[in-house]
């Protein structure tokens, strides 16, 4: 195929025509005009394809091939992959061609079928393929995208969808409560502030979809709710890249190599646990207020030093001992640390997920192209 590639790159229209034939030249031009989602990349390229097709249909072979070459498209090493043999298509009918591409697995071939046979009885089936409708499907009508401008209504969401949104609001720095799936005043105020600051608007369905998408990206990168058996606590943590960072006198230490986040876990008596929280208090520079919770079964301390670095300690009374999680990060990862802190819960917890038949998934499908819809794992995770 190297010889064929050199022939194409030579720019000689007659040589190229002899090499692949006018029909295949048109198909190749169309293929290179499509982006990875199976759609035409830009209107300028579309006009070139149409002009080339008209030239071919009128028999002006040389003009057609010149048009191909004038676009700057070159075959290079992809000739054998994109082009089918000439003798397979020389006398094809539209029905024969549709029999080859009608399974909708190759959207580029379907696009080229429409280019060659726009008036075919199979044209409607081809357009359905490109719209994501598989042959034989009984699909619902396309969603009304105007619905994204509807007022945000948390009453339509499940607890898992609410927790997904709370995670997104926390990652963006607007929510400071627990990721508990309960939509209260704190969650409502957070999304109102998010909509006001980011969109100069009141909360809409599109805003909840945007937040859910950000959370989905985090989950797709490997982050998930994980159970730490040593302390009997679940929390948000990264995936396979989560690395053990050795042990200190009282703690097992872990780190995320992609950020400044550090985790430490311990099970100690109450006296030692109180020492941990005094250490966290002393971490504060005094420039920021220290946040503290002191309850019979729960201790929390959050401090910030002069450079914005954060140290967070939480201790729960679990199985007759105090289970402590200590988190630390630099200032740039403060929102992520806060999200992890908000995810901490005693015992095992369900994973972060979007129910595919829920209202939030519907909003995402309207917001995103079908190929971009994030898939979120549905299984429990344990370390």
CATH of residue 319: 3.40.1000.10
- Are 254 and 170 contained in the same domain? no
The residues, ordered by sequence, that sit 6+ positions from 67 with a Cβ below 8 Å of its Cβ are 48, 51, 52, 55
- Are 32 and 119 contained in the same domain? yes
Lateral strand order in the sheet of 345-346: 224-228, 233-237, 345-346
Assigned domain for 194 exists: yes
User: How confident is the model at residue 137, as a pLDDT?
Assistant: 53
- Are 261 and 363 contained in the same domain? no
User: How confident is the model at residue 369, as a pLDDT?
Assistant: 52
Q: Is 41 in contact with 35 (CB distance < 8 Å)?
A: yes
Output DSSP code: residue 88: G
CB atoms within 10 A of CB 355: 15
Assigned domain for 140 exists: no
Assigned domain for 381 exists: no
The residues, ordered by sequence, that sit 6+ positions from 34 with a Cβ below 8 Å of its Cβ are 40, 41, 107, 108, 111
The residues, ordered by sequence, that sit 6+ positions from 245 with a Cβ below 8 Å of its Cβ are 253, 254, 255, 262
User: How confident is the model at residue 126, as a pLDDT?
Assistant: 84
Alpha-carbon span 219 to 213, nearest angstrom = 10
Q: Give the rounded distance of the alpha carbon of 223 from its chain centre.
A: 13
Structural domain total, the chain: 3
Alpha-carbon span 288 to 305, nearest angstrom = 8
CB atoms within 10 A of CB 305: 15
User: How confident is the model at residue 109, as a pLDDT?
Assistant: 72
- Are 252 and 338 contained in the same domain? yes
Residue 255, strand partner residues:
243, 262
Assigned domain for 201 exists: yes
Look at the chain and count its residues. Answer: 383
Residue 231's alpha-carbon distances to 26, 149, 223, in angstroms, are 65, 45, 20
Q: Which of 259, 261, 263 is nearest to 383 (CA)?
A: 263
pTM over 0.95: no
Assigned domain for 162 exists: yes
| Distance from the first to the final alpha carbon of the chain | 51
CB atoms within 10 A of CB 193: 16
- Are 210 and 285 contained in the same domain? no
Output DSSP code: residue 350: P
- Are 243 and 267 contained in the same domain? yes
Residue 310, strand partner residues:
304, 329
Its domain, for residue 179, covers: 147-221+354-372
Q: Give the rounded distance of the alpha carbon of 65 from its chain centre.
A: 41
- Are 244 and 214 contained in the same domain? no
The residues, ordered by sequence, that sit 6+ positions from 260 with a Cβ below 8 Å of its Cβ are 328, 329, 330, 332, 333
Residue 235, strand partner residues:
226
Copy the structure tokens of residue 35.
């982006």
- Pairing state of beta strands 262-268 and 252-255? antiparallel
Under-70 pLDDT residues of the chain: 1-92, 108, 133-145, 241, 369-383
- Are 181 and 273 contained in the same domain? no
User: How confident is the model at residue 328, as a pLDDT?
Assistant: 97
- Are 12 and 113 contained in the same domain? yes
- Are 253 and 335 contained in the same domain? yes
User: How confident is the model at residue 42, as a pLDDT?
Assistant: 34
Assigned domain for 365 exists: yes
168: left (phi over 0), alpha (psi -120 to 50) or beta: alpha
Copy the structure tokens of residue 16.
């190229």
Copy the structure tokens of residue 317.
């009374």
**pLDDT per residue as tens digits for the range 77-136:** 222 222 333 233 334 577 887 888 888 777 767 777 777 778 888 888 888 887 776 555
Please report which residue ranges of 152-204 form alpha helices under DSSP H.
159-171, 185-199
Output DSSP code: residue 248: -
User: How confident is the model at residue 93, as a pLDDT?
Assistant: 77
Residue 239's alpha-carbon distances to 63, 113, 159, 321, in angstroms, are 56, 43, 24, 28
CB atoms within 10 A of CB 234: 23
């Amino acid at each position: 195929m190297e010889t064929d590639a050199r022939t194409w790159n030579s720019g000689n229209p007659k040589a190229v025509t002899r090499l692949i034939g006018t029909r295949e030249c048109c198909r190749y031009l169309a293929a290179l005009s499509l982006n990875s989602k199976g759609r035409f990349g830009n209107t300028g390229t579309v006009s070139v394809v149409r002009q080339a097709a008209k030239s071919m249909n009128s028999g002006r072979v040389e003009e057609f091939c010149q048009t191909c070459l004038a676009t700057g498209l070159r075959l290079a090493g992809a000739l054998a992959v994109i082009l089918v043999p000439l003798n397979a298509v020389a006398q094809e009918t539209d029905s024969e061609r549709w029999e080859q591409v009608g399974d909708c697995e190759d959207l580029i071939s379907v696009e080229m079928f429409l280019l060659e046979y726009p008036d075919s009885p199979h044209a409607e089936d081809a357009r359905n393929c490109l719209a994501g409708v598989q042959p034989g499907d009984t699909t619902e009508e396309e969603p009304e995208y105007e619905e994204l401008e509807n007022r945000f209504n948390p009453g339509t969401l499940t607890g898992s969808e609410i927790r997904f949104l709370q995670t997104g609001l926390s990652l963006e720095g607007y929510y400071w409560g627990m990721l508990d799936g309960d939509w209260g005043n704190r969650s409502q105020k957070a999304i109102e502030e998010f909509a006001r600051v980011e969109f100069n608007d009141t909360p809409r369905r599109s805003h909840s979809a945007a937040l859910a998408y950000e959370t989905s990206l985090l989950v797709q990168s490997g982050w998930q709710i994980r159970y730490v058996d040593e302390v009997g606590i679940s929390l948000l943590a990264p995936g396979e890249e989560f690395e053990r960072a050795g042990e200190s006198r009282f703690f097992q230490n872990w780190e995320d190599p992609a950020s400044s986040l550090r985790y430490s876990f311990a099970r100690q008596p109450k006296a030692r646990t109180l020492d941990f929280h005094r250490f966290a208090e002393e971490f504060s520079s005094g420039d920021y207020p220290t946040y503290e919770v002191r309850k019979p079964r729960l201790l929390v301390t959050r401090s910030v030093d002069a450079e914005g670095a954060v140290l967070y300690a939480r201790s729960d009374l679990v199985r007759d001992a105090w289970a402590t999680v200590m988190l630390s990060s630099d200032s740039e990862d403060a929102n992520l640390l806060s999200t992890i802190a908000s995810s901490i819960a005693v015992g095992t917890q369900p994973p972060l997920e979007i129910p595919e038949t829920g209202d939030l998934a519907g909003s995402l499908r309207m917001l995103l192209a079908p190929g971009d819809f994030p898939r979120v794992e549905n299984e429990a995770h344990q370390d």
